[in-house]
Structure formats: structure tokens, C-alpha cells
Amino acid sequence: MSVAQAGAAARPLRPYRNEGTTRVALLGSYTPRRCGLATFGADLAHAISKAGAAEVDVVAMNDRVDEYAYPDEVKFEISQNVLDAYGKAADFLNMNLVDVVSVQHEFGIYGGADGTHLLKLLRQLRMPIVTTLHTVLEKPSARQRDVIQEIADISDRLVVMTETGRRFLEQVYGVDPARVAVIPHGIPDLPFVDPSFYKDQFGVEGKKVVLTFGLLGPSKGIETMIRALPAVTAAHPDVVYVVVGATHPHVRQLHGESYRRHLQKLAAELDVDRYLIFHERYVDLTELCEWLGAADVYVTPYPSKDQIVSGTLAYAMGAGKAVVSTPYWHAAEMLADGRGVLVGFGDVDETARAIIRLLDDERERDAIRKRAYAYTRSHTWANVGARYLELFAEVRAERAKRPRPTFAARTERDRNQPLPSVSLTHLERLTDDVGILQHAKSFVPLRDHGYCTDDNARALIVALRLRRHVEATALLDELAVRYLAFLEHAFNAERGAFRNFLGYDRRWLEDVGSPDSHGRGIWALGVAAAEWNDPSIKAGCLTLLHDALPRLDGVPYLRSLAMALLGIAAAYREFDGDVTLKGALRRIATRLYKAFAATRSNDEWPWPEEVLTYANAVLPHGLIAAGDALGRNDMIETGVRALQWLMRVQTIDGRFVPIGNEGWYARGGRRARFSQQPIEADTSVAACAAAYRATHDPAWIAEATRAFRWFVGYNDLGVPVWDESTGGCRDGLGHSGVSDNQGAESTLAWLNALAEMHELSEARELERQQGAAELYSARVRSAW
């Protein structure tokens, strides 16, 4: 099936990136399509790849039914007039976690009126967008202006190749010039050579060569140069005018070779046809550079000023040619300060005089050549590629500091919308007869990474909590048994500690796991001892919990201790006469309380650690839960105060914005915005719910709701992290988009937060009912 039939076609992007590599997607026409933009795109892609640690993949625009034989870097093709293909391309780029998209914009290569189809694609992209504008009109139509203005709104940065382009964007389109970068048209790095060196291979030795190259069409103004030939050849009979290039494919499709025949007829009428050579084919870069090397004078006689970019002009100057040109926008800027000669549009006599003067005066010609060559040394593709790569790094850093939702992100839904229902589909999919697997590729479990105590402890807590919110209690009972069996197997009785990682081959990878895995194991056992209905299982959980407690005395990490406190407090509320539990609860809670109390007077950083890292809300949550179980209001107040500070830190512009794991947040430093992990939203929801239950302050319901809404799309990018179709949760939110993978930690974080919100909703409704009943009773008493 052709691309035109399908609308879009794709090859997979590179499955794995090298660490530290920027993945760039270039969108535009691409070789072997024959147009200046396609050549530019290919040159830019190669330049960026060579400039640094970057991988460039291409989304190519197709303008015909039969497919081009694209090189391997082209990963996706769009038929320009098929609107649906643009949305598919956006999905393709989002799914492949591209870091930045480089859009090459030119009116005419994108479908829709004035290229409006492109907007559909851009609106859906999640990553930073840098758009290079190859045409910036001084007098656009209303629709052309609207298109460019929306592209500017969506793009993180615009690139133009001249200061004139930047001025037009500011004055005509209202674009902030600070959002516009000027990067010149790239050129090959050619030596400065004498034209005689190449002339013999083209059969023009002993001739003075005047050259024009590029795809042939009426917009090139070659008639002017042909009309100037009689005067030029009269002064210099050894002149030959060479026009290198095939007719533009679109011109040939509509008019065949009529334009070339028109030029040939004109030359014959003026009796200069013997001085005119048409090199009628599309030349590769090597041959083009050789023709440039052979030229004495290069001419661009464009008939209109509305040419903001000319690749042929850039190449000629880069080869050190003496250029005669009409003053279209690009030429007026490039040829200023003696770097070339400007002549009037369509002015045959002035064109002839300029060429004759340069051919007469070798000293002036060489001076112009040297000035042009020196000016363009910074325009070589190596320099241009490096500048683009620097710009990509700049916009990525800006997105990390100041993220924004996709342009097409939906308007916020009603804050009073019902909570999503619980789906166990992905939880069941991740679980086998051993326990829950750690990771998934998309929503497919990955067996290579095996299992861990951390996740099975989380899973046990979630399975027990969800029983109150689903009808499939038998399934949850079965899953809970598997998770508990995993924990029992994980406990190393000889060491009094939980092992953490178990390979898929059921071999333990360590004798003792991390302090966090030990804390989570105790947390899960405490919840199971409190909530399991079967007395024998409750007793077994309590026994194993007792066996695991002694190791906590040697754990120095507050986060691990806070996790353990949550389990001990849960078990103690069920077995408040258990002396061992009570002693452990008091000892560990006191350690955590003293750590917080030591920083209580520091309003700027009332936190017992120098760095906010992961699962931060567990610390105040553990202290609140312990204080509630022990009847210690001072612990509750200290935990609540710390949680208030943490939630302020995690709120930006009214949204929940957790600490990112790409650098965390060190005291006195800059907080990392990404990547944001579901565990942060979950632990914050749970801690705020605990604060509400301890204080009955409804403000905590609002805070819990804010954190929960991060899952459903009220986040920095405006995209859901929860997957409604699977019931799972994606592994994180990066500055370029959301991960497609749905592992155990993320899915369990979502399910636990959802369970907390359902319980908060039920508690709030019960309080409303009790309040209404008390108000009714008061009114009755008053009436009596």
C-alpha cells in the first residue's frame, strides 16, 4: 500500500538511546525529493548528527503518490494532503519519546490552505518544538499571518536565517524577538580556489564563467540575465553564461519544459544562444561545488524582493564568488558592506554594467570574493549544526524549568467530577503465581527484571485496601495471598531482614535487601495484621512483624523508619496491648520526631534532610500516624507542619508539581522539575489523607485532591499519567512527555491513591450526614 493510500507510513525509531544523547526529529521534505528544502533538511540533519551527541530521525513530507526511496534516517512519511496522517505522526513522535522536534516550514509543502494541516500535528506534540521559517512574508494574507502566528505560539523557538526575518516576525506578526533565533543558511566548507582550476573539466577553459544554479522556474528571473548578455559579451566575448539545474518538479508537472524553451528562444532572438549553456540535470553536491569553483561571477537575478532565504546565494558566497544580485531580502543583507554587488529588479542595463565592471577589474572582483568568503566562515554546516544543537539544549532546559501542557490539552474538567472506578486489569496482568513483576514495556510485563519485595509489599497493602471499593473481592483475596507468600519467602530469618530482588528464575540476588525494602515489608505486614479477616493469617503476619522489628534499631535512614512506622502504627491500633509493638512504635517515632523538631525553627527548610528526594511525604505521614496511634498531639502537629511546608514546595501555579528525580532538590539549590514520578503523588495523597483524619481540617482534602489530580492530567504537561484503558499507570512524566511503560510501582501508586480518595470521599460524605443530623436535632431541641 502506498503512503498516499495509507496517509502515513513508519519505521521504528532506534529502540534505545545512548546515555546523554539528544534525540531530534526533523520534519519537512527530504532527499531524494528534489527541492531546496529537501536538500537543506538532509544537510541540517547530517550537520546536527555530527555536531555532538545527537541522533536525528526524519519525518518526511510526500508530495506524490509513488514513494521516494528514502534513506534509513527517515522513520515516518506523511502524505501532505491527508489530514489524518498529521495526527498519526504526532502520536508516533510522542510514543517514541523524541526530545525535540525541528520543523522546517515553507508554504506549499504542508497540506490544507496555507499549510494549516501542519497545525494539527504541532498542537498534539508534547516535546519542545523549534521551527525554522524558510519564508517570512512582509505582506502575508490574513490566513498566512494566522498560520505563522499559531506556529509561533506553539513553538518554543523560531529560527530565521536573517535579521530581516526577525524584524518581520516582530513587526508584522507580533512575535517577541527574544523567542527568535537567527541562524544562517548552512554551507559546505569549500576551499578558496582560483576558478581556472575547475574549468577544463567542464570544457570552459579560457572562458569567463557567469553562473546561476538551482531548480529552474519563472521565479528565478533568468530572463534579465539573458537580456544582459548582448552587452556583456560585447565587452567580453570570452564570457559564457551557465545555468545549472533541472526544471523544478512542480513546474515540470504543470508546464513541462516550456519555461526552459522560452529562455532558449529568447537567447536565440538576441543572438546570444552560443554564449548560453544549460546544464539540464539535478547535480549532486560534489558536482555543484565544482561548478561553483569554476565560476568567475555568480548571478541571482530574482525578480521580487520577497525572497527571505536563498540557498544558492549562501553557497556561492561560501565558495568565495563575486556575486551580482537583485536586492531581495536575503541578498540585501548578505551582500552588504562590499560583499557583493546589488542591481535593480529587472534592470538589464545595470546588471550588464555590474558584470562587466567585475570582469574588467580583477582586483575589485577578488576583494569582493575574499570579503564574501570570510563573512561566511561561520555559516559552514559544522557551525550551523552546533548552533542548532545548542538551541535544542536551551529549549529543553527551559521546558524543564517552565513546562507547559500540549497546545491541544483539553480544558480542565469539572473539579466535582466523580472519581474513576477501580480497574484491576493491569494489576492482575502484572501478577503471576510468584508475585508482582517489577517492570513492563508499555503494558506488557517484563520477566527479565523479576520481582522485588518493595513492589510486593506495596501490592499487599493495595490489595487489602481495594477490597472495600470493588466487587471482585475473591480476586483480590487471591492476589493478597500471593503477595503475602512472597514477603514470607523474602524474609531471611537468619539475618532478621528482608531480601529484595528475586530473579525470574526464582533465585534471590542478595541475602539482605535495602533498608527501604525492610521498612516496606514491615509496613505491609502491619497493614495485613490489622486488616486481614482470617485470625490465623493475622497471627502469622504479627509474628513475622515481630521478627523483623529488631533490625530497625540499626537503620539510620528516616524514610525507611517512616515506612516501618506506618505498618507498626496500623498493627498497634488493632493490637494496642502488644507491648513489643508499643515499644517499637515509641522508639522509632521518637527518633523521627526529634529529627523534625531539630529543624522546626527553620521556616525556610523545616525538613530533617538536606535534600528532598523520593517519597518525601512518607516522613510526615509516618509521624502523623505514629502520633495518632500513641495519642501524641505534639507528633501530629509536627508532622502536619512539615507536610504543609512540603505541599507548598510541591505546588506551582495551583498544580501539584512533585520533586523531579533528575537532580532532586538540595537545600539552597534549584529544584528539579522532571522527571516526576507517580510515587510522589501517591505518598502525598496518603499523607494529606492522614492529616485530614487526624485534624478534620477540610483543607487537607483539597491538598489530597490537588495531588491526586496529577494522575488524571492536571500536571505540568496537561496529560493523564493514569491509563484508563488498562487500569495501570505510566512510569513518569518527563519534560517531553509521559512514559509509555506501566510498571508495578507506578500502577500500585495509582491504585493506592485512588483507594485513598474513595475513602476520603466516603468520610467527607459521612461527616456531612452527621452534621446534617446534628443540625436537625438542634433545631428540634430549639423548637421544643
- DSSP structural state of residue 115: G
What are the pLDDT digits (tens) for 350-367?
Answer: 999 999 999 999 999 999
Instruction: Report pLDDT digits (tens) over 584-596.
Output: 999 999 999 999 9
pLDDT at 1: 34
Q: How confident is the model at residue 298 (pLDDT cuts 50, 70, 90)?
A: very high
The strand order across the sheet containing 444-452 reads 437-441, 444-452, 501-502
pLDDT for residue 259 is more than 90:
no
- Rg of the chain over CA atoms, in angstroms? 35
How far apart CA 446 and CA 524 sit, in angstroms, is 24
Please report how the helices 558-574 and 579-597 are oriented relative to each other, as an axis angle in degrees rounded to 10. 140
Mean pLDDT of 261-268: 90
User: How do residues 599-618 score in pLDDT, each as one tens digit?
Assistant: 888 888 999 999 999 999 99
**Going along 660-760, which residue ranges are E strands?**
665-666, 722-723, 728-729, 733-734, 737-738
Residue 450 has pLDDT above 60, yes or no: yes
- The predicted structure's pLDDT at residue 289: 83
pLDDT of residue 410: 37
Mean pLDDT of the 297-316 span: 91
Please check the confidence at residue 155 and state whether its pLDDT lies above 80: yes
Grid cell for residue 415: 473539579
Please name which of 167, 162, 188, 146 lies closest in space to residue 307, comparing C-alpha atoms. 162
Q: How many CB atoms lie within 10 A of CB 744?
A: 29
pLDDT per residue as tens digits for the range 178-190: 999 999 999 999 9
Q: Is the pLDDT of residue 779 over 60?
A: no
Distance between CA atoms of 529 and 535, rounded to whole angstroms? 9
Q: What is the mean pLDDT of residues 37-63?
A: 93
Q: Which of 621, 650, 642, 596 is nearest to 519 (CA)?
A: 621
Q: Are 464 and 480 in contact (CB under 8 A)?
A: yes
pLDDT classification of 648: cutoffs 50, 70, 90: very high
Rounded to an integer, the average pLDDT of 308-319 is 92
766 pLDDT band (50/70/90 cuts)? low
Q: What is the pLDDT of residue 8?
A: 63
Amino acid at position 485, single letter: A
Q: Name the DSSP letter for residue 670.
A: P
> What pLDDT does residue 186 have?
95
The sign of the dihedral angle between the CA atoms of 511, 515, 517, 520 is positive
Q: How far apart are CA 3 and CA 471, in angstroms?
A: 48
Q: State the pLDDT confidence band at 770, using cuts at 50, 70 and 90.
A: low
User: What's the whole-number mean pLDDT along residues 559-567?
Assistant: 97
What's the pLDDT score for residue 56? Answer: 96
Mean pLDDT of 31-47: 92
What phi, psi does 450 have (nearest 5°)?
65, -145
Residue 3 has pLDDT above 70, yes or no: no
User: Could you give the CA distance from residue 495 to residue 20 in angstroms, rounded to a whole number?
Assistant: 40
Question: Region 204-220: what's the mean pLDDT?
Answer: 85
Please give the pLDDT value at position 771: 56
Residue 751 has pLDDT above 80, yes or no: yes
Using CA atoms, how far apart are residues 782 and 784, in angstroms rounded to an integer?
Answer: 5
CA dist 505 and 492 (Å) reads 18
pLDDT tens for 99-129 read 999 999 999 899 998 999 999 999 889 899 9
Provide, rounded to the nearest whole percent, the portion of the chain with pLDDT above 70. 93
Lowest mean pLDDT of 366-370, 391-395, 590-594, 774-778, name the range.
774-778
Segment 568-591 shows an average pLDDT of 94
What rounded mean pLDDT belongs to the chain? 89
Q: How confident is the model at residue 96 (pLDDT cuts 50, 70, 90)?
A: confident
Of 653, 655, 660, 702, the residue nearest 679 (C-alpha)? 660
pLDDT digits (tens, 9 = 90+) for 71-83: 999 999 999 988 9
Per-residue confidence band for 400, with pLDDT thresholds at 50, 70 and 90: confident
678-720: pLDDT as tens digits = 999 999 999 999 999 999 999 999 999 999 999 998 888 888 9
Antiparallel, parallel or unpaired: β 733-734 and 737-738:
antiparallel
Least confident of 51-65, 289-303, 408-422: 408-422
Average pLDDT over residues 406-414: 45
Q: Which residues contact 154 (CB under 8 A, 6 or more apart)?
A: 119, 122, 123, 125, 129, 407
487 pLDDT band (50/70/90 cuts)? very high
